[in-house]
Structure 1
Amino acid sequence: MTKIWTNSGDSHFLEPDDLWQSRLPKRLADLCPRSEKDPDGEYETVYVDGQIFRRKLPSSAMVAFAELSSKPQGVRDARARLGDLDTEGVWGEVIFPSLGMWASTFRTPELLKACMRASNEWALEEIAAVSPRYVVTAQVSTLVVEDAIEELQWAADHSYKAVFLPTTPHPSAPDWHRKEWEPFWAAAEEAGMVIAFHIGTDPVDVEAGNSATGGAGQVYRGPGGAIMNYAETTFSGQRAAMKMVASGALDRHPDLKVLISEGGATWVPFLGDRLLEGYRQHHLAVRPKLSRNPKEILFSQVYASFQHDETAVAAFDHMGYRNVMFGSDYPHMEGTFGHTQDTLKTLFDGVSDETRLRITQGTFFELFPDVPPVPAESI
């Protein structure tokens, strides 16, 4: 069968473990995350930004996950990665960091600001420079709004097209729907920078290994816990989208685009209906008033990537939501690496070419028009 070529709105790269330590002055490098495992291998001690945590090491299932994540050579080698993508039929892709997931545990603004700059400089040199097919997400501090704006502007000046944000900012910072972030949204709109939220990135209590808002870690224990914890991660992306719409941030910045990666797409029509109902039925209590209805804002400015969800295609075909985007989640175990073509052929069996091309390519190119098109002979 003919290969179905797609772009991906979600993938990951593993940076060198010592990236921050190797690029920062010693006084800051000594505060960067590091861990020491107990001799029996059951627990480890984590040191990060002057804090010390003890935590039980991952279960065998998580170890298997980590091993799987490190197997494809392209997860650490941007040149080898192109071979993986060509085999899978993935052309352009949005690439999220790995070390950046530690950001919510930092408490020193100078340290976080320096780490984000080090990551951004490294990603330009080692990933973005390799191929124009890569859309690398810039990282910014969420401890201080002014630091975030400064780094976003630096990233835009260095050809970044997207900025990665956790679904909830650092606990000491205001949440995304608060007015303090308004200058940041304005700066992102002016720079043409896509805001890329990735699910499961709410701040995590390193010691407890969980998140109060269900972003990552272990929220549920007992029967069904593994499935419930996996489902729980998607909700953080929905909350982020809701905050951006209901607060008026997207209404005030109609050219600002938001990508919610890895959380599916069918939730968007549901959330649009729910927001519209709340806005209409409780209008006397609603602040701020919006110039457009919340469902229209959500549908026009929020993009959503999925990997296996059969209903995501129906969201485009039957629910009026056009900003549906496929994402491979390379190389994670819940992603499609190793079976991307089988997944795509199942998803688009009997589906029109218009729908398939919109979801696999058109939505991505709408957000990132600078990525070269898929070669005509490959389509």
Structure 2
Amino acid sequence: MELPRIVSVDDHVIEPAHLFDTWLPAKYRDRGPRPLTEGIGELEYVGGKYRITMDPAGPPADWWIYEDLRFPYKRNIAAVGFDRDQMTLEGITRAEMRPGCWDPVERLKDMDLNHVEASLCFPTFPRFCGQTFSEAHDKEVALACVRAYNDWMVEEWCGDSGGRLVPLCLIPLWDVGLAVAEIRRNAARGVRAVTFSEIPTHLGLPSIHSGYWDPFFAACQESDTVVNMHIGSSSQMPSASPDAPVAVQATLSFNNAMASMADFLFSGVLVRFPRLKLAYSEGQMGWIPYTLERADDVWREHRAWGGVRELIPEPPSTYYYRQIFCCFFRDKHGVASLDAVGRDNATFETDYPHVDSTFPHTKEVALDHVRGLDDETVRKLMRGNAIRMLGLDLDA
């Protein structure tokens, strides 16, 4: 089988050290994020939270210093080029990373090596949906940082890529009016993707049931902007015991996407905004068939006392197949259940440069998953659904 070139809907970018010096207005730079190379001391991941200290005598790492935040880059988020047993929580400098982590020219070269034509990249220092700026004390500077990041994303990271690097922008999560303005500002220059929290209440924000986010959803529908939700974009990963190893959280990571999707299916958001598109990133898809089966069963049997009789007029799976996209890169169970997952709903990702990434063997991994599927379905999974979702003109 000749595999079509892939459009990856979930990759990541390591921000270059010059980002805010170049793109943040001069009057904010002394209060904005500053790059620093410094030794790293204690670095542990316990109960879903990092414990981090600086230590001049420790191994060097590249950091961002912003208000009272100390944010180091770690090997597990810039893992390509390292052996599996080297993909640890140790600090790392950009000089030690594969240049494609932060250099767009080198990223395109790595995409060519990896059978990837186009890529949508989530942020790292701002966190998956911009929580770093939402948690900042000085919201005037934080808003300027969101806009600076988006300007860098559109004009520098994606600008000279010929459409191969697809812009994914942030919103100021703390103010829905400002969020709407940022959606419109970016849509006017061709941006069709925004990152959002899978479960906003975990960030201390209003829920999607409250109506608070409706102006944001309306602006996304109006501008054909896809709402992309990455696992962990609620700053919380599911776990069992508080002292369980990180492997437990990694195994359960899809739980956030599953919870978020159930939330949306019963929220009425997809009823009120029938052209709104949602995309779940890095959640895989093998869990989706039973979730839809259960949601439809609850709707049929329990909708009166369950509080959704008037809110959700059709079975919840109706809205999933119409408006929601999932993605996968290691999920043979999901591929085996593709008719229930939806041949028009599934997309592919490479997760470059994270520890999960299939780089540089993505073509082999993809072929192993789609072997036996018809050519039309393979094309949909590898690129067609992503092109339709994001409104790309790659096949024009």
Where on the TM-score scale, by shorter chain, does this alignment land: which range?
0.7 to 0.9
Tell me which residue corresponds to 1:122.
152
- C-alpha deviation, 1:124, in angstroms: 1.6
Distance 1:24 1:220, change over 3 A: farther
Aligned pair 1:12/2:12, yes or no? yes
Deviation for aligned residue 1:63: 3.7
User: Given the two structures, how large is their TM-score scaled by the length of structure 1?
Assistant: 0.84
Q: Do the aligned residues in 2 keep the contact of 1:162 with 1:193 (CA within 8 Å)?
A: yes
Q: Which residue of 2 aligns with 1:200?
A: 232
Aligned residue number for residue 290 of structure 1: 312
Do the aligned residues in 1 keep the contact of 2:119 with 2:165 (CA within 8 Å)? yes
What secondary structure does 2:88 align onto? helix
1:52 Cα deviation from its structure 2 partner: 6.0
Structure 1 match to 2:365: 343
The answer on 1:148 being equivalent to 2:179 is: yes
Mapped to 2, the partners of 1:63 and 1:307 lie a distance apart of 23
- Aligned 8 A contact 2:289 2:340 in 1: no
Query: Matched residue of 1:185: which SS?
Result: helix
Question: Would the alpha carbon gap of residues 98 and 373 (structure 1) be closer, same or farther in structure 2, given more than 3 Å must change?
Answer: same
CA distance in 2, matches of 1:43, 1:70: 10
Equivalent residue pairs, number: 360
C-alpha separation in 1, matches of 2:361 and 2:141: 40
Q: In structure 2, what is the equivalent of residue 186 of structure 1?
A: 218
Take 2:232 and 2:375, find their aligned partners in 1: how far apart are those partners? 32
CA distance 1:152–1:319, shift in 2 (3 Å): closer
1:275-354, aligned counterparts within 5 Å? Answer: 275-285=295-305, 286-287=307-308, 289-317=311-339, 320=342, 322-354=344-376
Aligned to 1:377: none
CA distance in 1, matches of 2:3, 2:317: 36
Worse-matched range after superposition: 284-293 or 130-139 = 284-293
Which residue of 261, 264, 267 maps to 2:281? 261
Q: 1:245 to 1:38 in 2, by over 3 A?
A: same
Q: Does 1:135 align with 2:166?
A: yes
CA distance, structure 1, for counterparts of residue 352 and residue 96 of structure 2: 11
Q: Distance in 2 between matches of 1:259 and 1:337?
A: 22
SS at match of 2:196: strand
- What's 1:208 paired with? none
Distance 2:386 2:28 in 1: 41
Cα 1:269–1:68 shift into 2, 3 Å: farther
- What are the Cα deviations for residues 186-222 of structure 1, in whole angstroms up to 9, with x where unaligned? 111001101111111213xxxxxxx3xx26xx87565
Q: Cα offset for 1:294?
A: 0.9
- Shift in Å at residue 359 of structure 1? 0.7
1:92 is paired with a residue whose SS is strand
2:9 partner SS? strand
Cα separation, 1, equivalents of 2:193 and 2:17: 23
Aligned equivalent of 2:58: 41
Equivalents in 1 of 2:178, 2:27: separation in Å?
A: 21
User: What percent identity do the matched residue pairs reach?
Assistant: 25
Structure 2: which 5+ runs fail to align?
Answer: 39-53, 77-85
Structure 2 equivalent of residue 112 of structure 1: 142
Unmatched runs of 5 consecutive residues or more in structure 1? 204-210, 375-379
Q: TM-score, normalised by structure 2?
A: 0.81
Query: What is the alpha-carbon root mean square deviation over aligned residues?
Result: 3.1
Cα deviation, residue 177, structure 1:
2.9
Equivalent residue of 1:7, what SS?
strand
How far is the alpha carbon of 1:349 from its aligned partner? Answer: 2.0
1:243 equivalenced with 2:263 (yes/no): yes
Deviation (angstroms), 1:108: 3.5
